[in-house]
Structure 1
Amino acid sequence: MTEICVRTSELAGVVVATPVGRLDLSTYAALRDGLLKQAAAVPLAIVVRLGPDFESASRAMLAVFTTVWMRISQWPGVPLVLVAETEEHHSDLRRSGVTRHVATATDLEATLDRAEQPPLRRYRRLTLPKSLVAALIAREEVRVACAEWELPGLVDDALLVVSELVENAVRHSGSEPALRIELRASGLSLAVRDDNPEPPVTRSAAQHRGLDLVGRTSVAWGTMPSYDGGKVVWAVLALGPRR
């Protein structure tokens, strides 16, 4: 059985990920989830170095990078850049079609210089208690954020969504959830991290509305593994009127 690992380092808020090993059907999920976990920590950018210690069983396997790009485009909105350090990798990425979606470069230093430019975004972070009062605290934090960022039209939807996300985490994870509220050009994102890696419970007898209400209220929502072994459940609200 083949193996793959992802060596990571951080430079001024940018994660540099270097896959080592062979990418094939047996290692596809490991590489995908490893990069998603790095994105869940919300770095300024993720730069993936494809050097001589990385190989792909076929060009089709390189679609893993397009999958990661698609998963993180709505949340957390972290830029993904591939640095092809060999001519073979550069050619394979281009011929596979990955470069139509994912930014690709050949110079790591120049890529880092561009990636270290901080994006225009505002955010607040808060660790919540492991009790149902967590939802009340989260609602107040969201209310304050919407007031400071002049988003009166989003308050009601944001309060509804954060309540569902936090209550779900408290009821089903048994851990202290962490809330991240972030404003960027693409929308207002609400994300809750907990220690349970299992997918969130979308509906239960004790939770009549459930996360299906989050789906109807937001323009996008989903879940992804967190860097520390848990998960992050997130939702994005449009800044303009919903259609």
Structure 2
Amino acid sequence: MSRPSPLRLIVWNRSHLAVVQPVGRLDLSTHQRLLDGLLKIAAAEPAALVVILDKLQLGSPSALGIFHRVWRQVNVWPDIPMALVAEEPELQQAVATGPLARLLPVCPTLTEAVRVCRSPPPVRQRQVRLPCGDISGLRARLFVTEACLDWGQHEPLGDALLIVQELVSAAVEEGGPELWVRVRMRDIRLTVSVRDRTPDAPARTPPALGQLALAHGRTPSPGGKVTWAVLRGQ
């Protein structure tokens, strides 16, 4: 008897969206692999995340609940739209009659999913690359200040500066060669994130995150990790 093929992810970009096609069987043995893989792809902060389901073998209908977990995460950070593609009529029916359909667009074609994901409110974002060093915190604060003032975000600026200082200081302490600071604005959400090239590991939560952020976390990303925080804009 042939064994089920291991789960793998085929990834490509389309119109700045990350398109992912899981191939293989989704069950208890591969659940975490798919979850971690999709969150790592989302951590690269594409314009949207689209998942094509048709080559995914479901161990049970309840296995689709994994996409609810992914959606809950990416809806907070990196705050990007997400859509599912189900071309097969039976799969469309299974997804459309489940709870996922109330949260996520389920599209019959990739073209339709791309169209749906390109309709959300516009995003403003800026990114700067910095070396890890003593001056990095100051340069990051100046960068965030300029972005927030240009976008009229005066009220959350003080909190954003405290948070980016904490995030940059933590990245410098962990010893990576360089880091990337990104500030992003969608609707009333202001997000500050710091990406570095050191692996994700349990770490102390900077006090500013727990006190000032609506949500925060650390997420593995290609080549390292991202530490992020979400604030409410004005």
Same fold (TM over 0.5): yes
Matches of 1:145 and 1:186, distance apart in 2:
15
Determine which of 164, 173, 176 is the counterpart of 1:174.
176
* Residues 170-224 of structure 1 deviation map (CA, whole Å, 9 limit, x = unaligned): 102423111101111131100011112223522xxxxxxx513212101111121
Are 2:224 and 1:230 aligned?
yes
Query: Alpha carbons of 1:116 and 1:95: their partners in 2 closer, same or farther (altered >3 Å)?
Result: closer
Deviation at 1:153, TM superposition (A): 1.2
Query: Alpha carbons of 1:229 and 1:156: their partners in 2 closer, same or farther (altered >3 Å)?
Result: same
* Residues 55-105 of structure 1 deviation map (CA, whole Å, 9 limit, x = unaligned): 110112111111000011111111110011112322322344222222211
Are 2:14 and 1:11 aligned?
yes
Matches of 1:173 and 1:48, distance apart in 2:
35
TM-score by length of 1: 0.89
**What amino acid does structure 2 have at the position aligned with 1:107?**
T
Deviation at 1:116, TM superposition (A): 3.6
Conserved? CA contact 1:81–1:104, under 8 Å: yes
Determine which of 216, 219, 236 is the counterpart of 2:211.
216
* Residues 31-59 of structure 1 deviation map (CA, whole Å, 9 limit, x = unaligned): 111111221122121111111x2211011
Query: 1:1-80 to 2 correspondence within 5 Å?
Result: 3-51=6-54, 53-80=55-82
Unpaired runs of at least 5, structure 2: none
Deviation at 1:141, TM superposition (A): 0.5
Matches of 1:212 and 1:115, distance apart in 2:
35
More deviation in 191-200 or 162-171? 191-200
SS of the residue 2:156 aligns to? helix
The residue aligned with 2:160 is: 158
**What amino acid does structure 1 have at the position aligned with 2:228?**
W
Query: Alpha carbons of 1:95 and 1:197: their partners in 2 closer, same or farther (altered >3 Å)?
Result: farther
Unpaired runs of at least 5, structure 1: 203-209
TM-score by length of 2: 0.92
SS of the residue 1:152 aligns to? coil
Matches of 2:76 and 2:202, distance apart in 1:
18
More deviation in 210-219 or 114-123? 114-123
- Provide the aligned length of Structure 1 versus Structure 2: 231
Conserved? CA contact 1:6–1:20, under 8 Å: yes
Determine which of 105, 122, 136 is the counterpart of 2:107.
105
- Segments ≥4 residues shifted beyond 6 Å: none
Conserved? CA contact 2:84–2:105, under 8 Å: yes
**What amino acid does structure 2 have at the position aligned with 1:23?**
L
Conserved? CA contact 1:168–1:200, under 8 Å: no
**What amino acid does structure 1 have at the position aligned with 2:220?**
P
SS of the residue 1:201 aligns to? coil
SS of the residue 2:23 aligns to? strand
**What amino acid does structure 2 have at the position aligned with 1:167?**
S
Query: 1:85-124 to 2 correspondence within 5 Å?
Result: 85-117=87-119, 119-124=121-126
Matches of 2:20 and 2:211, distance apart in 1:
35
Matches of 2:116 and 2:65, distance apart in 1:
24
Query: Alpha carbons of 1:43 and 1:170: their partners in 2 closer, same or farther (altered >3 Å)?
Result: same
